[in-house]
Chain A
């Protein structure tokens, strides 16, 4: 059974801080790892990672994967109040269908 553990479960910071969110996983035949951001309602896609050591970057957000140690981190630099959200990590194993297994998420609150 695939498993995803995210830490911390919640985080409160002030604007301008840098945060690191963690995601460790267990999966049979790793295919990809995904990060999603969930604000008030529906999650939205951030990154898909498949290879170790290659950083994905979008503005102040970046993510990297370590397939040997089975984890990924999501970094957010110079946080803003608009970064307040739940960040979801998911892992996908190789199989006929593309089925993500999601972690419980990290709730990030950024205070002004």
Chain B
């Protein structure tokens, strides 16, 4: 099992550009999450999904959109990147039997210039 994978691992964008981050999990988990982590800030939830076809806003959703068309994939989109979105982005998933045990991907380091 690959667990949780994220694509790409690194990306540099110019202000105003768009991009999509892909998260994939092969554990048949219902719950999936997107977090951002800034220095000294811990993990902040952007959006989450409790199942295929459903999404919801987290703590810091502005400037991001998500989609969960397939159970195993959770996409995070930035329509018009801003320097404030420079961060490390983590995807995580969890199953219904152990929702407290989130499995995290390796992260995507995004820099917006």
Contact = CB atoms under 8 A, between A and B. Distances in A.
Interface of A: 4, 6, 9, 32, 34, 36, 41-45, 48, 88, 90, 92, 96-105
A34 B31 CA distance: 17
A42 B90 contact: yes
B100 A32 contact: yes
A109 B60 CA distance: 30
B56 A97 contact: yes
B39 to A, nearest CB: 10
B43 A98 contact: no
B55 to A, nearest CB: 11
Contacts of A36: 102
Interface string B43-73: 1110010100000101100000000000000
B40 A104 contact: yes
Contacts of A43: 43, 90, 102, 104
A58 B8 CA distance: 34
The 7 closest A-B pairs by CB, nearest first: A42-B104, A98-B99, A104-B42, A102-B43, A48-B100, A102-B42, A45-B101
Contacts of B56: 97
A104 B39 CA distance: 9
B41 interface: yes
Residue in B43, B50, B105 with the greatest tally of chain A CB atoms within 10 Å: B43
A44 B104 contact: yes
Contacts of B50: 96-97
B106 A41 contact: yes
B102 A100 contact: yes
10 contacts: A41-B106, A43-B102, A44-B104, A48-B101, A97-B50, A97-B56, A98-B99, A101-B45, A103-B42, A105-B42
